[in-house]
Amino acid sequence: MKVLIGVTGSIAIYKTCELIRLFIKRGDEVRVVMSKAASKFITPLTFEALTRNKVLIEKNENWAGELNHIDYAKWADIYIIAPATANTINKAANGIADNLLLQTYLATKAPVLFAPAANTHMYIHPTTQSSFKKLNIIEANAGLLACGDEGIGKMVEPEEIFLRALREVNKEEFWKGKKVAVTAGGSIEKIDDVRFISNFSSGKMGEALAKAFYIKGADVTLISSKEHNLSKEIKQIKVQSAEDYLKAILKENPDYLIMAAAIADFKPKYTPGKIKKEQIGEKMILKMEKNIDILESLKKKKFKRIGFKAERDEKNALKYAKQSLKKKNLDAVCLNLLTRNDFGSDENEIIFITKEKTEKFPQDSKENIAFRIADAVKHI
């Protein structure tokens, strides 16, 4: 992807360095255009070192080559203005192009995202609010601002802009308006009010799936026992027990359920309060009972259900996964062999199983595997 980043004069400019790093890490090519005011905060050399490309500024615009606002505008797959000052936003909304950055905005056919950074009073001013309605804005966060005021106006974190940009370029008509619920993490089953049993599930695969379906254009809800740093546009529901997961899924009533969470097969008999160690003695014996099977509980629901099966028995894993597919009337099962990738790994290898076929997704990052799964789910 060819990413053009416009930088205006704001203290939030330091976040743009991290935003560029995220795109470079993904393998994208990045170019930067700076306003004159932006150069007061940071030199073009910083961005040239990060991108390995010449930064376009008024002093070096060159019509003998590609270093000009027309060629940069044509080159881009997406144009992100971050940080975008109130001045830049109000000018852009009214077609004023009195600097290179805004001239590039008017010249490009690529989608444009604005990530505002402004004093609260400038941000909430009726003129600025009116301008927001004309542009593709990533709403700022609230908090303590650099000027000392408290309120909305902080530019969102780089990860948020990064995900929005990927969605803008990669969204598909198929996923528009479709609700996808993804579960992640491991269920937490209480022994008493201070103790619990759980498992080693990190939630990384579920988080990667939530991002993948969001980038594809779906309306995504992530239901998880873990904390996740995601776009504000991805709804997050924090849960603990299997019962919590089930209630959240039923409440969401999605078009697709991606059941990546590791739910405990058994749960302890819950005791309110705190069991005193004096009552326990030398050995603690837990009375366990069978937990609810979420996917089996939902087998009469009309939405598409994709299960995950983690196995260590390589010899019989495929057989067990196919049995689960049939027993729970699933649309697909993602088989994960823990002998190759244990809990918490950043990589995975999945065998995607439906009633019609079995497809192997070779060892790759969980992010790339998540996209493979999203593409496969589209066709079931």
Per DSSP, the three-state class of 171 is coil
Q: Is residue 258 within 8 Å of residue 213, measured between CB atoms?
A: yes
CA distance 372 to 332: 13
Q: Is residue 272 within 8 Å of residue 193, measured between CB atoms?
A: yes
Q: Is residue 341 within 8 Å of residue 204, measured between CB atoms?
A: no
What residues are labeled active site? 147
In terms of Cβ atoms closer than 10 Å to its own Cβ (0-12, 13-18, 19+), residue 248 is middle
Task: Indicate the helix (H) or strand (E) that contains 176.
Answer: none
DSSP assignment of 314-336 equals TTTHHHHHHHHHHHTT-SEEEEE
CA distance 276 to 18: 49
Report strand pairing: 347-353 vs 358-365: antiparallel
Examine residue 268 and say whether the peptide bond preceding it is cis (omega within 30 degrees of 0).
no
Other Cβ atoms less than 10 A from the Cβ of 43: the count is 14
CA distance 321 to 332: 10
CA distance 182 to 196: 23
Return the amino acid letter for 265. Answer: D
Sign of CA dihedral 18, 23, 152, 128: positive
Q: Is residue 189 within 8 Å of residue 350, measured between CB atoms?
A: no
CA distance 28 to 42: 23
